[in-house]
A = this chain, B = another copy of it.
Amino acid sequence: MAPIKIMAEKAAAAARSLALAETETKNSLLAALADSLRQNAAAVLAANRADVAAAEAGGLTKHMADRLSLNEARVEELARAVNQVADLPDPVGEISDEQTLSSGLLVRRLRIPLGLIAFICEARPGALVEAGALTIKTGNGLIVKCGKEMALTAAALNDVFNAAFQSLNLDPAAVTVLPTLDRDDLKEMLTLSETIDLVIPRGGEGLIRFVSENSRIPVLKHFKGVCHLYVDQGADQDQALELLINGKTQRPSTCNSLEALLVHQDEAAAFLPRAGAELVARGVTLKADPGAAKFLPRSEAAGEDDWGREFLDLTLAVKVVPNFEAALKHIADYGSNHTEVIATRDPDRANRFLRAVEAGCVMVNASSRLNDGGCLGLGAEIGISTTRLHAYGPMGLRELTTTRFIVTGQGHLRN
């Protein structure tokens, strides 16, 4: 038996115990985790500095260095996030869909953890801590595979988790941070469908594609966020402009930022010159189709591969569409099932947009940047799913659970 399989089986066994833990026990564990993080901040930060130095020597992109780097404020922020997860309601143990059939048979559903979750992250120590907190709260086990860029940080965080479990005499294998794995080990882990119930990859499109193609375990993924804002005929242009600026420039490297603007032809002459000036003033490069270019003197011509493209920086594709249907069609052709927004004053088209557009989160008159578990009232999130199975859109605590049928009879038989 390979080490990875043994570690996964230990984690699964620990998860079975955590699955039956009372809410108070899990909350105490989260409090201990937050304390452990604060107490061990110096060790975590030292490890992280070493990782960052090694990564910079190896030529890390600025984007990745941002995600990898921790500092005191960020560690305190993570500790507070762990405390906040403790304050959220525990979905495990909820009873729903209670039905007493005419025969007297009582049929209910009991909410239970998913089991053991494999979390695969590249250089995201914050995501690791958050994932650990969410899985503890939901009574799941977590086995984490990190990128080699954060090997030392991951080991330090493993100590942080261990200390929290040990302070309550609980089995620390329930959160197992693996040593850095090569792709062969990762492939082996992805075959352990008897032991691991779900895989959540967080990272670049290449990683997610590798995991999806090699996994025999269900994968919850988002490949990319190609988010559109459609400015409808008769939209409030001032409001639409704010949605556009916020969606494009507030944090352009994130998956819920805007990549493309679609404007109804009747709004183009008034809206686009203003929008273009505001965006260019903020450093945004505009790639326009011929219909939009007329109103955007400082734009480049958009190429076919600019539609459906995730720029992840201050670039925006812009297109003028003849009508609402053409906007729906463009989003159907180029959207990524992540976040889609309409700016409109027409309630019928707002409802049609909400119903017909295929995405995990569809918004009317709200910024795409609000598609986030925290912003949408879930309390926290472990990721944003762009596939429809099990969870679609931001995944909070409830999405880390499932239900089983529990049935109570008085000797009920089948005839």
Binding site for B on A (CB under 8 A): 16, 20, 93, 99, 101, 105, 107, 110, 112, 114-115, 193, 197-198, 212-213, 216, 218, 236, 239, 242-243, 246, 250, 332, 350, 354-356, 358-367, 369-372, 375-377, 387-394, 402-414
A243 and B413 in contact (CB under 8 A), knowing A107-B377, A218-B218, A366-B408? Answer: yes
| Closest residue on chain B to residue A401 by CB atoms | B388
Residues of B within 8 A of A250 (CB): 413-414
Tell me if A405 and B371 are in contact (CB < 8 A). Answer: yes
| Closest residue on chain B to residue A398 by CB atoms | B97
Main secondary structure of the interface of A (DSSP, over half): mixed
Instruction: Tell me the complex Cα distance, A403–B355, Å.
Output: 11
Instruction: Tell me the complex Cα distance, A389–B250, Å.
Output: 35
Tell me if A198 and B389 are in contact (CB < 8 A). Answer: yes
Residues of B within 8 A of A363 (CB): 406-409
Can you name 17 A-B pairs with beta carbons within 8 Å? A16-B332, A20-B356, A105-B370, A114-B389, A115-B388, A197-B388, A212-B216, A236-B411, A354-B406, A361-B407, A363-B409, A364-B409, A370-B407, A370-B414, A372-B414, A390-B390, A394-B405
Instruction: Tell me the complex Cα distance, A105–B107, Å.
Output: 36
Tell me if A405 and B388 are in contact (CB < 8 A). Answer: no
| Closest residue on chain B to residue A390 by CB atoms | B390
Tell me if B406 and A365 are in contact (CB < 8 A). Answer: no
Tell me if B404 and A392 are in contact (CB < 8 A). Answer: yes
A213's partner among B216, B246, B359, B369 (CB-CB below 8 A) is B216
Instruction: Tell me the complex Cα distance, A212–B216, Å.
Output: 7
Q: How far is the CB of A4 from chain B (nearest CB, A)?
A: 19
Q: How far is the CB of A77 from chain B (nearest CB, A)?
A: 16
A377 and B412 in contact (CB under 8 A), knowing A114-B389, A360-B404, A362-B405? Answer: no
A105's partner among B213, B359, B366 (CB-CB below 8 A) is B366
A367's partner among B114, B332, B412 (CB-CB below 8 A) is B412
Tell me if A242 and B404 are in contact (CB < 8 A). Answer: no
| Closest residue on chain B to residue A361 by CB atoms | B405
Q: How far is the CB of A196 from chain B (nearest CB, A)?
A: 11
Residues of B within 8 A of A411 (CB): 236, 239, 242-243, 365-366
A359 and B404 in contact (CB under 8 A), knowing A366-B409, A367-B414? Answer: yes
A388's partner among B101, B114, B366 (CB-CB below 8 A) is B114
Instruction: Tell me the complex Cα distance, A305–B192, Å.
Output: 23
A414 and B369 in contact (CB under 8 A), knowing A356-B20, A387-B218, A388-B114? Answer: yes
Residues of B within 8 A of A246 (CB): 413-414
Residues of B within 8 A of A114 (CB): 388-389
| Closest residue on chain B to residue A100 by CB atoms | B377
Residues of B within 8 A of A105 (CB): 366, 370, 375-376
Instruction: Tell me the complex Cα distance, A408–B389, Å.
Output: 24
Residues of B within 8 A of A389 (CB): 114, 197-198, 218, 389-390, 402
Residues of B within 8 A of A362 (CB): 404-407
